[in-house]
Amino acid sequence: MEKVYSVPSTKHEVVGGFCPGCLHGVVVKLVCEVQEELGILDRTVCVVGVGCCCITARHWKCDVMNAPHGRAPAVATGLKRMAPKDTVVYTYQGDGDLAAIGLSEIMYAANRGENFTVIFVNNSTYGMTGGQMAPTTLVGMKATTAPFGRKAEDVGYPLHMCEILNQLGAPTYLARVSCDSSPNVIKTKAAIKKAFQNQIDGKGFSLVEIMSACPTNWGLSPLDSIKFMREKTMVEFPLGVYRDR
Can you give the binding site for another protein, defined by CB under 8 A?
A: 12, 14, 41-45, 47, 57-58, 61-68, 71, 74-84, 87-88, 104-105, 107-108, 112
- For the CA atoms of 194, 215, 97, 191, the dihedral, rounded to the nearest 10 degrees, stands at 0
Residue 245 one-letter amino acid: R
Burial letters for 183-219: b for 16+ Cβ neighbours within 10 Å, e otherwise?
Answer: ebbebbbebbbbbbbbbeeebbbbbbbbbbbbbbbbe
Query: Residues 21, 222: contact at Cβ < 8 Å?
Result: yes
Using the minimum distance from each CB to another protein, give the nearer residue, 2 or 13: 13
Using the minimum distance from each CB to another protein, give the nearer residue, 63 or 224: 63
The DSSP call for residue 10 is T
CA–CA gap between residue 197 and residue 24 (Å, rounded): 22
User: Considering the complex, what minimum distance in angstroms separates the CB of residue 39 from another protein?
Assistant: 11
Question: Considering only CA atoms, which of 177, 153, 218 is closest in space to residue 21?
Answer: 218
Using the minimum distance from each CB to another protein, give the nearer residue, 204 or 215: 204
Number of H helices, E strands in the chain: 10, 7
User: Considering the complex, what minimum distance in angstroms separates the CB of residue 49 from another protein?
Assistant: 12
Using the minimum distance from each CB to another protein, give the nearer residue, 40 or 229: 40
Counting Cα atoms < 13 Å in the Cβ hemisphere of 218 gives 24
Using the minimum distance from each CB to another protein, give the nearer residue, 106 or 229: 106
User: Considering the complex, what minimum distance in angstroms separates the CB of residue 35 from another protein?
Assistant: 11
Using the minimum distance from each CB to another protein, give the nearer residue, 33 or 105: 105
User: Considering the complex, what minimum distance in angstroms separates the CB of residue 208 from another protein?
Assistant: 21
CA–CA gap between residue 121 and residue 172 (Å, rounded): 19
CA–CA gap between residue 171 and residue 234 (Å, rounded): 23
User: Considering the complex, what minimum distance in angstroms separates the CB of residue 90 from another protein?
Assistant: 12
User: Considering the complex, what minimum distance in angstroms separates the CB of residue 42 from another protein?
Assistant: 4
